[in-house]
Chain A
Amino acid sequence: MLGMIFIVVLLTGGTYVACRKAKPIYESSVTILVKQPKRQTATVQEVSADRSLEVFLKTQRELILSDRVISRTMVLLESPPLRETWRQARQVASAASPEARAEALAGLASVIKQIDERADAIVNERQEDLRRFRKSVDIRTPGGEVVGMSEVFTVRVRLADLPGFKPGQRARTAVDLLSSCYLDRYWEVQSESVRDASAFVRQRLNDLKTGTLDPANKALNDFLNTKLGSAAPTTQPDTALIPADVVILEQLLKSGTEAGAQIIRTRFEQEKIRLGTELAHAQALQQQLAEQITDEKIAKLITKSRVDALEARVMVLGEPSKDGKEKPGRQEELAQITAELATMTDEPRIIVPEEVLRNNDIVNKMKKKLADLIIDRNKMQGQFAPTYRQLVDLYIEIARAKLEIVEELKAEKKALDVKIKTLTAQQDEVTRELVRLTRKLDAISVLLPEYERLKSDLQMARTSYARLEAELLQAQADEQQARKATTIQVVDTAGTPDPERPVIPWTPVYTVIALGVSILLALAYAFLADHFDHTLRNIQEVERYLGTTVVGSVSKAGRRIVV
């Protein structure tokens, strides 16, 4: 029991006393508001708004905890005179009229330079202090680590007092200085980085244009000018390359050298083959016609004049006599005429080639008419005497038709002759062209690798140029963005912590915790003590452990008394 009380009192009291004696650490904080402008340029690859804010806040955290900001704050915190100078310079700079602004800023810059010299010393020589100070700075966003929608963050500094500061003032001063240093540094970094980025891209663009793109262009042009055109030395005038042959080069380039040449050649060869086929066809037809219209056959034909004569005669014979009597010998004569004409009806036979029938409409019609006439004649031959007038007329008709067909075929044959001549000429032309082309292709193929190289160089230069142009656009957009950059404001001024209530130690809470812990410890002690206590305390224990009866027990009196 006493032991328990002792433990509780010792621990609780000890904690309380320790809290009282400990060096208090105070906390002070400022809240900083971030306002980002809406991004408007479409070229900027848009991260989602939340995401960009998060990234931004993370960057700010890095910036605040950077060596530069921290060390500057330390310098200012350690040196009151420098702090005063700096504060005044800042005030002057912010209050300066637009005319005096440049001068005021220069003044501030010189002070900052002074600070930076000492800050560098801290960074180089007092890493441990730097680390400790950084540890005392805490940056919080409401809602924890995942910032999301928050546009506000809080910078907290926890510091113990040092001589030269009123209680709690050191933390407050530190957080004040830290936020100011951070804002200064933010603007420095912002303007530097944007200016650099844009200028850098523009410089590279320029370099690329003068260094790569233009030479590539020029090389290609020179190449084309020297190889294609009048300047080129040539032995065969008809295969000389002309500027228009760039088309062929392009074509070759597109389809690959060998295949491309083949394609062009094949086209010409196909043309040649087509002409050959057509020519052969025409020749065959001509042959056919020639067979049908031989001199021999023509000789067999009754001439046109003779047919006319016969017709006239038939007309005369046909006239009715004045006396109404039939002229003697008329029948015989008619029979004779009929016989003469009849020979021609069947002989010579002329077969009109199908090709001609198809192509020549007149011949076709004639042929059909002739066929009809022959059918009519065949009919009448059976019914009437050979001297029958109409039959005779029919014979005449047939003869005439046949003559006409023959005439037509002759004309057809002539036309074919002309056609064959033309085709032959064309074929020759194509063959010649083919030879010329082959030579030309050979000449151009030699040029091709060079051309290809130059061309791809140019293409590559153009691609990278285009990319850089896009980058420049982006950089310019960023620059624009930076001009209306994120506004960062310190929302509230740092409050002075209550000297009676430092963050560490938090006396009441610590004491209560110590009380709780000590009670637990005391209980643990009690149980342990009981467990290891082997004394006999009551009758039950005696009987349990010794197996002996208890004959009596005497209470402890306050003092030793003999009854």
Chain B
Amino acid sequence: MTGAQSARRRPLEKAMVLTESTKSMRRVRRSLRGEIGHLWASVFFAPERAAPRTLLVTASERGEGVTQIVAGLGIVGAESNAELRILLVDFNLRHPALARVLGVQAGAGIAEVIRGEVPLSEAMCPTALSNLRLLPAGHRLDQPLGLLRSQALREVLGDLAAQCDHVLIDAAAANRYPDAQTLTGLVDGTILVTRAGETRRETVAEAKKRIEQNRGRLLGVVLNQRRFPIPGFIYRRL
């Protein structure tokens, strides 16, 4: 699938408004940051378990907003604490989008790193935030399956975890591709993003089953693009 096709199907990059700063936009961004902050807190500050060093973010189907959540978590986490070294990994080898979302020019990525073509330090790209780095997907692969099964993947993940405080991995849809399924056993925790009012519960349940079958640790579900029955502008006046 080419980039042009991807753009037509999901005009994600158009929406990457980081600079626009109208009043309503500021309010929206503030509320979004609040929500993602909550998410960060409940994932990493949960008292009953240790904070996951490597976190896999996936979804049951495409288009549920995994990339958004990963980017949001990265930005919010990096801003919240300048000491934290956060790495975002785009493991969505088929439809990589994280680099575009963050406005980073991506070159070689994790695919090349695993195959040993490029060293890890070269592949990692800096972002606007100093303590937030990105490991892009790299060039498109025809057989990602081979990568998943390789021992190199384990080693790379171990290296990444050693270099950073938090590694957030953006993986492809769990019900479509085996990536997330495989990865979930290699990371400390997995969260499942679902689009509220869009994804069917059966689909989500299937994804959950896949994760748990591979001894993955499902930390929870994120309800993305959630709407309320009463529109906000009315709700605020009540």
Contacts and interface: CB of A to CB of B under 8 A. Distances in A.
A538 B201 CA distance: 11
Contact of A552 (B28, B31, B35, B218): B35
Given A538-B226, A542-B221, A557-B32, A551 B201 contact: no
A555 B35 contact: yes
A546 to B, nearest CB: 6
Contact of A536 (B38, B68, B201): B201
A556 B225 contact: yes
Q: Interface residues of B: mostly helix, strand, loop or mixed?
A: helix
Given A555-B226, A561-B15, A534 B36 contact: no
A562 B71 contact: yes
B199 to A, nearest CB: 6
Interface string B75-88: 11000000000000
Given A561-B17, A563-B33, A563-B72, A550 B227 contact: no
Nearest to B39: A552
A558 B31 CA distance: 12
Interface in A509-563: 534-539, 541-542, 545-546, 548-563
Given A562-B16, A563-B75, A563-B76, A534 B200 contact: yes
A551 B191 CA distance: 8
B201 A554 contact: no
Chain B interface size range? 35 or more
B209 to A, nearest CB: 10
A546 B201 contact: yes
Given A538-B226, A551-B39, A562 B72 contact: yes
11 contacts: A537-B227, A548-B221, A551-B43, A551-B219, A551-B221, A552-B36, A554-B39, A555-B227, A556-B227, A560-B12, A563-B36
Given A537-B227, A553-B226, A560-B12, 17 more contacts: A535-B201, A536-B199, A542-B204, A546-B221, A548-B221, A549-B219, A549-B221, A551-B221, A553-B35, A554-B68, A555-B227, A557-B32, A560-B16, A561-B15, A562-B71, A562-B75, A562-B101
Nearest to B35: A554
Interface string B192-212: 101011111110110010000
B223 A539 contact: yes
Interface in B134-176: none
Contacts of A559: 15, 17
Contacts of A556: 196, 225-227
Contact of B29 (A535, A539, A553, A563): A563
Contacts of A535: 196-201
Nearest to B200: A534
A557 B28 contact: yes
A546 B219 CA distance: 13
Interface string B98-127: 000110000000000000000000000000
- Sorted from nearest, which 6 A-B pairs have the closest CB atoms? A552-B39, A560-B15, A551-B220, A553-B223, A556-B225, A545-B201
A554 B223 CA distance: 6
Contacts of B224: 553-554
Given A537-B197, A546-B205, A551-B191, A561 B32 contact: yes
Given A538-B226, A555-B226, A562 B68 contact: yes
B12 A534 contact: no
Contact of A551 (B25, B42, B71, B202): B42
A561 B68 CA distance: 8
B86 to A, nearest CB: 14
Given A560-B15, A562-B101, A563-B29, A555 B201 contact: no
A420 B204 CA distance: 150
Contacts of B15: 559-562
